[in-house]
Chain A
Amino acid sequence: MTAPAPTTPDATPRWRRVRDHPATRFLVVRGLLHTAIVLLGVITVTFSLMLLVPGDPVRIALGTRYTQESYDALRAASGLDRPLLEQYLDYVLGAVRGDLGVSFRNGEPVTHVLLDRLPATASLALAGVLVGLLVAVPAGVYAALRNGRLADAVVRITSQVGVSVPDFWMGLLLITLFSATLGWLPSSGYVPFGEDPVEWARRLALPAVTVGLVAGSIMTRFVRAAVLDAIAAGWVRTARSKGLGRRVVLLRHILRNAVVPIVTIVGIQMATLLGGVIVVEVVFAWPGLGRLVYDSVTARDYPVIQGAVLLIAVLFLLINLLVDVIHTLVDPRIRNR
């Protein structure tokens, strides 16, 4: 039990007070350290992917294009002719600097290939999470408030259905309906936002709804559970015993306390969408990271597979770190224990 630092009612913004608090610094440092350890593990796993390939990856990748010269050239360019430990250290150092080697297919730097694909995937992931939140927050909160009644049962079963639908099947059905039958929306392709925002949105609509409904179904269940937990808390009874209005009880005492678990699941969904919508990207011919991984697996372009896997894992870790920071901002118990 430590007393809070004596403060005059000053005008320091809340975020600065939090940032400068010794506990925050400690927590952030610890979070970074933890992330760094996991990151090293992630890099090691991606590095070892190539080692696990039975046979000679370069030879497999070259396939029919194989000649002794092209083989030697590609091996040297990828550094595969050097001792293993040297390769590993090189890989780790390269990864930290953003150098992930060159593609087996066309010799392009992997980093370029990845950055090329990132905007399409990021658009889809953000739009998907947005659609998901628009579904999940109202549905989850409403179901929790009507716990045990008909509306709750409807939301629970609907979300169960949403979780069980294969996303690529839903994509196919949406294409059948909106493109093939009604002809309202294009079924595939991506146009960068900078080029034509309207077309960007039209093309994004179907894939975003596809991933958004699945993500929304998962999030609905978590939101409902988080709100139910918050409703059962003793301080909600205290709030009601003060005779506060329903809105105040709901917003200040229930939802505010449900924010921490909700932020966590949103973070997980965001990370999942960044790397997990491979099949949807294939269905909608969306030129994102998932599509890239699929093409590279088919073409046995191992450096690109490694790079994509690593990039997505790093994004996951960054999102986790961000979620931790938000927790710290919301919950005074984490700030100063």
Chain B
Amino acid sequence: MSTPLLRVRDLTVAAHGDPIVRGISFDVEDGQCLGIVGESGSGKSLTVLSATGLLEAPGLTIGGSSVLTDTTGATEIIGASRATLRGVHGPRVGFVFQDPGTSLNPLLDLERQLTEGPETHLGMTRRAARRHALELLEAVGIPDPEQRLRAFPHQLSGGQRQRVMIAIALACSPSLLVADEPTTALDVTTQAQILDLVRGMQDERGMAVVWISHDLGVVGQVADDVTVLLDGTAVEQRPVQEIFASPRADYTRTLLAARPTLGDPRPAPAADAEPVLRVADLDVSFAVRTRTGTRRIRAVRNVGFTVPRGHTLGIVGESGSGKSTIANVLTGQVRADAGTVRLHDADLLATRGADRRDLRRRVAMVFQDPFAALNPRATVERSVSEPLRVHGLATGPERTRRVADLLGQVELPADFAARYPHELSGGQRQRVCIARALACEPDVLILDESTASLDVSIQARVVDLLLRLQEELGLTYVFIAHDLAVVEQISHEVLVMRRGETVEQGPARAVLSDPSHPYTRELLAAIPPAEPRVRSSAP
């Protein structure tokens, strides 16, 4: 076997003396793709960015060795001078980052951002670099590249921005592409397109790829080899097929088991339950300011559904589909133009005064980001007891007891009551948010992407908790999510939305296993399959 393109040995990274990456070694072979998988805090980005010399922050110390060997020669990256690294970045290693919204300079047009690399490294003239940029935009599938060269990043969609970012990374034909969570901020259908694009580019150019992701499913679609990281150490490093078929490390097994996959629908509940929430003919529009005045955008058009007691309705859609607007209408944050929302027999949209406040209490919501959904200056006790205070549900010692009960229901110890949100992990915070919602004694719980920002292993446990609570307390859920696999785990009925309109609705089993609408089929096809991809061109 020849020398690997990138050989990393005993890599360590420490911040202010605290080790974050504790001695990781891996090889990246020419033309191959290495997937680096780990949850938040595992040090996966830190590992790869320090091995490729892009990490630069005060207080960080990097040790070990990382040698890049390609046609230019062999270069030790760790401890290399800035001048050496400038020769590496661009022509030998290219980078794509997670957030396409902030990775491009908002003040420069695409032409400038695409040409500056080749002008520096390939000695191209402005004209030649411009021609080169046109070819690149075409290669990454940007329509009308001649026009787009003069566009600014804010005029592109998220997916287009990420395509431009890939074009920039490939501009000097690097032998290694580092992709740091490049699809995490994108919708699932866009993610599928970007995956295709990178795979195509890799085959066409014969370059190597390091793909960093928290999502085993995505890695299974691109990687030849996988390194699983936990707390700055590599717990398992094997070919992708073996990782999926026979994981050796406990942690890998946990990750694989926790990963929501399609094809395991929830059993249908009793059919005779009374309807709790009835929504009919809902229309919502927003005023949007444009250069010539204000325009109304119809965010939700003619949507209706009924949720019986103890059931879960899953609302599915990509960003901009209007699914969160429905949550905002149900919780009274946004006014509807038309339609009715009935909770039992009360009209949620027409009621005013004290009755309205009581209705608000009976429709509780759990938000996406548990970091932001808790007041940082309030203790857990203060947050959880707020509904009890404002609605006078419990006072004095009774209130303290209720808070302890609620914490117990979400499987948190009672002494957590005295803690502040920053002393809790993400999963614990979300449990506190659920406890606060339960304190309202709600009829309906709105779960708006409530598990989306959690790591998979924690997400699985929160989903289990939600299922158990529904069972025990007979709660009614509206579960809003972009992840179809999670929706399948928790929903009895599913409603698929696109651009404010209902595309398809019905029992979860039917919609997800036998979709009738092409858009639902497209969504389902875009989900990375449970099994890894078999690469045809085995070396």
Contacts and interface: CB of A to CB of B under 8 A. Distances in A.
Contacts of B106: 235, 257, 331-333
Contacts of A37: none
A253 B168 CA distance: 15
B107 to A, nearest CB: 6
Interface in B77-103: 82, 85-91, 94-95, 97, 99, 102-103
Interface string A236-257: 0111111111101000110011
Interface string B157-195: 100000001001101100000000000000000000000
A146 to B, nearest CB: 10
B90 A331 contact: no
Query: Contact residue range for chain B?
Result: 35 or more
Contacts of A147: 58
A242 B107 contact: no
Contacts of B291: 22-23, 26, 336-337
A237 to B, nearest CB: 7
A330 interface: yes
Given A237-B54, A244-B117, A330-B107, A337 B150 contact: no
A194 interface: no
A1 B157 contact: yes
Residue from the set A234, A248, A336 with the largest chain B CB neighbour count within 10 Å: A234
A4 interface: yes
A11 interface: no
A242 B147 contact: no
A241 B107 contact: no
Contacts, number: 110
B15 to A, nearest CB: 13
B210 to A, nearest CB: 13
Nearest to B151: A4
Nearest to B169: A241
Contacts of B112: 252
Contact of B105 (A3, A253, A337): A253
A238 B120 contact: no
A238 B154 contact: no
B473 interface: no
Given A234-B97, A337-B291, A239 B87 contact: no
A140 B264 CA distance: 59
A332 B58 contact: no
B97 to A, nearest CB: 6
Contact of A240 (B89, B105, B168): B89
Interface string A282-316: 00000000000000000000000000000000000
Contact of A246 (B82, B87, B154): B82
A333 B152 contact: yes
A3 B120 contact: no
Nearest to A239: B105
Contacts of A106: none
Interface in A1-58: 1-4, 6-7, 22-23, 26
B100 to A, nearest CB: 9
B292 interface: yes
A336 to B, nearest CB: 7
A148 interface: yes
Interface in B58-87: 58, 82, 85-87
A241 B90 contact: yes
A196 to B, nearest CB: 44
Contacts of A337: 154, 290-291
Contacts of A241: 54, 89-90, 94-95, 169
B116 interface: yes
Nearest to A24: B291
B154 A242 contact: no
Q: Which of B82, B89, B94, B292 has the most CB of A within 10 A?
A: B89
A331 B107 contact: yes
Contacts of A89: none
B362 interface: no
B269 to A, nearest CB: 42
B56 to A, nearest CB: 8
A153 interface: no
Contacts of A4: 147, 150-152, 155
A22 to B, nearest CB: 6
Interface in A228-286: 233-235, 237-246, 248, 252-253, 256-257
A43 B512 CA distance: 67
Contacts of A239: 105, 116
Nearest to B120: A244
Given A3-B151, A147-B58, A257-B105, A242 B292 contact: no
Nearest to A235: B105
B121 A252 contact: no
B88 A243 contact: yes
B87 A243 contact: yes
Contacts of B86: 243-245
Contacts of B490: none
Contact of A332 (B87, B120, B152): B152
Contacts of A238: 95, 97, 103-105, 165, 168
Contacts of B290: 337
B334 interface: no
B90 A332 contact: no
B156 interface: yes
Best-buried of A4, A238, A239, A245 by chain B (most CB within 10 Å):
A238
A233 B154 contact: no
Contact of B89 (A149, A235, A242, A257): A242
B390 interface: no
B338 interface: no
Given A3-B155, A4-B155, A332-B154, A257 B107 contact: yes
A333 B95 CA distance: 25
B273 interface: no
Interface string B387-411: 0000000000000000000000000
A332 B156 CA distance: 13
Interface in A115-154: 147-149
Q: Count chain A CB atoms within 10 A of each CB in B88, B97, B109, B156 and give the residue with the most.
A: B97
Contacts of B88: 243
Contacts of B91: 243
B108 interface: yes
A234 B120 contact: no
Contacts of B54: 237, 240-241
Interface string B269-282: 00000000000000
B120 A237 contact: no
A234 B89 CA distance: 16
Contact of A1 (B102, B155, B165): B155
Contacts of B105: 235, 238-239, 252-253, 257
In order of increasing CB-CB distance, the 3 nearest A-B pairs are: A234-B102, A243-B90, A243-B89
26 contacts: A4-B147, A4-B152, A6-B147, A22-B291, A23-B291, A234-B97, A234-B103, A235-B106, A237-B54, A237-B103, A238-B103, A238-B104, A242-B116, A242-B172, A243-B86, A243-B88, A243-B91, A244-B90, A244-B117, A245-B86, A246-B82, A252-B105, A253-B105, A256-B108, A332-B109, A333-B154
Interface of A: 1-4, 6-7, 22-23, 26, 147-149, 233-235, 237-246, 248, 252-253, 256-257, 330-333, 336-337
Given A235-B102, A336-B152, 14 more contacts: A6-B147, A7-B150, A233-B102, A234-B103, A240-B56, A240-B89, A241-B54, A241-B89, A242-B89, A242-B168, A244-B117, A248-B120, A256-B107, A332-B152
